[in-house]
Structure 1
């Protein structure tokens, strides 16, 4: 890719960027949120057609202005937002074979369903993915959806495979399974472009690395020739400061308590508590029940039962509305589907949970006051956006996450629940999120921090509950524990 430039209203996303990748190699493409890496790959995959510059493949210039043109050249991309790329009401097999159903029927009006599922099952078996072909995508876990997307990408002749944060929803074992597939594709001569914020993974699987910042190409190196601190320095344009903030705060009495939380097949009679000003971690592998527990507390599961109390008062929560009204906020794992309104402006998202504060006589909305509050929150969180009117879908993943958090800061809740808050977020934005969490605790808020990133659990929490197979199996003082000990309990080890 030579001198690729592209602009959107109010922002130049790419500025004369050069990028190249070799067949049979994995190339890491990284940068802070908003650096332009995903935009560059959307140009390559035909999602954006109004770019300037040239794309060359095997020594000849090609014209890519649509996803079909990219796929016809063997260029496949697996996006980070899995729910926007899959059709939930279709089966796994139908989603895997979707491109062939649409483009390769050759005028035939009849689909051989048994043959379709047999082909899909062959693809799944080759990748060692144990998901039934006839199962609906809506019934899959986030990790299973990710693997189905990758299966669809490699089901056709694939010469260049772009993976955008592919390991974000995957457990350690699932990540290893993905890496085995990547190594096999490299042996087959496929060029892999790997976008991730998890630097250790890049050093494990990638051969080359390209770093972007503010829509420009910064550096390209063999990954073995550049150390991780230098990579971070290139990404941020400055040396990395202390990642986890050390904010002195006072931890008070128990403020939030849950007893006997149960959701059939998801969580099994869970008890836990959080003190005033305390950050409590919730650790566990993908599928352990962390997200399900967060949703149960927030009233987002119609089948959950149990007792919840706040400051000694029993709460009746049967819906998220009840939870918000009684002082509980949730920043969900799947931010694009559940955390923000992607088609709405930043201002609408930031004020959505407190509209009554900006209304007159209960019905008339004061747009001026709403705009002012949104601008103040944008400045406070450092949200990179052309203005408060920009649509959230046009922001980077890290800035979308800041919007998802910002709306609850305006709401001023008593209990804040963060479910995988740094998934798909760069090191700079992670540091900002850690600072926000610490400041909430300093203000006396009770924080539940659910994450499969054990370094974050150890770095920011006071205590940690370990979840395994839907139950809490251990309660540890984080300062007296280690990542290794927590991982042991997360995998079911050390339990009697």
Structure 2
């Protein structure tokens, strides 16, 4: 093994019962390198990283840290060899009642070493490492439960550094973060590179790979299938390696058959967030709404769905003027919303899949105030089959499902409601490419059944792939509409950022002197 490799995993095999989770998997990491690990759900990424972090024991294969063969039987063994993790669900690794300083030094207490450390020295050490991460603004005496998600991530990174981490696994760290918080995290990762710490970065957001990573490995079906330097590859190639086919082949173009007008919004306003929105959607049509952060996409979705009712303007459903003052009023009119923040707004994350699946239409599954559990279970099983949700039981709590499968539940629960208009707000946020494929198929199927779909997203390539028309929002207004044939990523970005095709407009209206 080369001397600058901090990690080598070679010939890793792992079985769960009869299922091969990993087959001859391999992975390497250099000092001071950010290495992306990509793959769809079930590709083996998580299993490989759980072996590296000591949660699982491989059936066969070898691990080397700094050229020395190691064997991990427990997470404590991995940490003693300098392997630390920063998970998407940071609260699983934080003790909320302890102070920030105590959380940073937690592994010191767990090891039994230096247990008699004064509070002053403990806080000084915590301040020192936070300052090195440019996170000196975090009060080390504050209880961890008072910290933001981004601050908790920094506490976990500080915990790793204070214990001389050689490598840190970042598992979907940007999924719960804002764009600003994600940018700050990337600066921290670049600092770690400069200090010689190796970083393994697992993400579903491909642009992030090209922003922060040096190298990339793709896994599929439990195997290593691709490795490259980031500058020598592109998003299209990575998607093809993850899926085994191109992104274009995943989404089949529909034969569009438009029917009657389902919804029409005229001069829709909501405070300062929406300013005179006009558009209509027909049966069998998928309309995209594009826009950058703050453009008003989410606000428009919530206004149509009655979460934040319009202050003025009109909404017509099938030609009839309606007043949507509450989400229940929207549902009664056949309008349902799959929200962006599914964990906060779309799901009961600590309840079972069965309960989440049937909640929107409990009347259908109850009689004389009693829930008919068998009917609930049958519907949940039907939904699991239709959406290919990966679970062993309808009683699985949603916090034990992947982000992609949670999103499928957030969508599938509306299958019990006789809706005609579906609003999807960032439906693929935080889900892997395989789950995106299933979600796109579901949306296409809804349109083919004659439903109207409004797809709100900042992922322009997705809008271009699935939508029949695209509305571009900027500063609370629809500033441009494109047909599928007219739309390009460049044109959409131009209008979404407040620009106009001035040159083209001049060419269309020449001035003769």
Q: RMSD of aligned C-alpha atoms?
A: 4.4
What is the distance in 2 between the residues matched to 1:395 and 1:349? Answer: 13
Contact 1:211 1:235 in 2 (8 A): yes
2:34 touches 2:213 (CA, 8 Å); kept in 1? yes
Which protein, 1 or 2, shows the higher relative CO under an 8 Å CA cutoff with sep ≥ 6?
Answer: 1
Cα deviation 1:63-117 (Å, max 9, x = unaligned): 6566666555543433335677779x999xx66x562265568557868999799
Structure 1 unmatched runs, 5+: none
Of the three residues 463, 479, 484, the one matched with 1:474 is: 479
Alignment-derived partner of residue 154 in structure 2: 151
Q: Is contact 2:262-2:421 (8 Å) kept?
A: no
In structure 2, the CA distance between the partners of 1:120 and 1:321, relative to structure 1 (3 Å rule), is farther
Q: Are positions 1:77 and 2:77 aligned together?
A: no
Is 1:410 aligned with 2:416?
A: yes
1:291 corresponds to which of 295, 298, 301:
298
Matched ranges for 1:38-437 at <5 A: 38-45=46-53, 48=55, 55-62=63-70, 64=72, 70-71=78-79, 73-81=81-89, 97=101, 99-100=103-104, 102=106, 122=131, 125=134, 145=149, 147-156=150-159, 157=161, 158-168=165-175, 178-203=185-210, 205-222=212-229, 231-238=238-245, 241-247=248-254, 248-250=256-258, 252-253=260-261, 255-257=263-265, 260-262=268-270, 267-269=273-275, 271-277=277-283, 278-300=285-307, 305=311, 309=315, 310-311=317-318, 312-318=320-326, 320-367=327-374, 369-437=375-443
Q: Are 1:44 and 1:64, in contact at CA under 8 Å, matched by a contact in 2?
A: yes
Q: Deviations over 1:140-178 (max 9, x none)?
A: 9xxx84x43543343341432323334556677776665
* TM-score, scaled to structure 2: 0.75
Q: Is the 8 A contact 2:352 2:394 kept in 1?
A: yes
Q: Distance in 1 between matches of 2:416 and 2:435?
A: 19
Q: Distance in 2 between matches of 1:170 and 1:103?
A: 26
State the alpha-carbon separation in 2 of the partners of residues 66 and 305 from structure 1.
58
Asked whether the equivalents of residues 34 and 396 of structure 1 are also in contact (C-alpha less than 8 Å), the reply is no
- Count of aligned positions: 479
Q: 1:98 to 1:328 in 2, by over 3 A?
A: farther
What secondary structure does 1:281 align onto? strand
Whole-angstrom CA distance in 1 between matches of 2:336 and 2:91: 23
TM-score by length of 1: 0.77
Shift of 1:29: 0.9
Q: 1:315 to 1:124 in 2, by over 3 A?
A: farther
Q: Distance in 1 between matches of 2:406 and 2:338?
A: 11
- For 1:298-356, what per-residue CA distance to the aligned partner results, in whole angstroms no more than 9, with x for missing partners? 3445x9755663332423433x4444344222222233343334444434333332333
Residues 148 and 488 of structure 1: CA distance in aligned 2, closer, same or farther (over 3 Å): farther
Q: Which runs of 5+ in 2 are unaligned?
A: 1-8, 110-114, 503-513
Q: Matches of 2:299 and 2:48 in 1, distance apart?
A: 35
Of structures 1 and 2, the larger Rg is shown by: 2
1:137–1:237 distance in 2 versus 1, CA, 3 Å: same
User: Helix, strand or coil: the match of 1:280?
Assistant: strand
Match of 1:490 among 467, 488, 496: 496
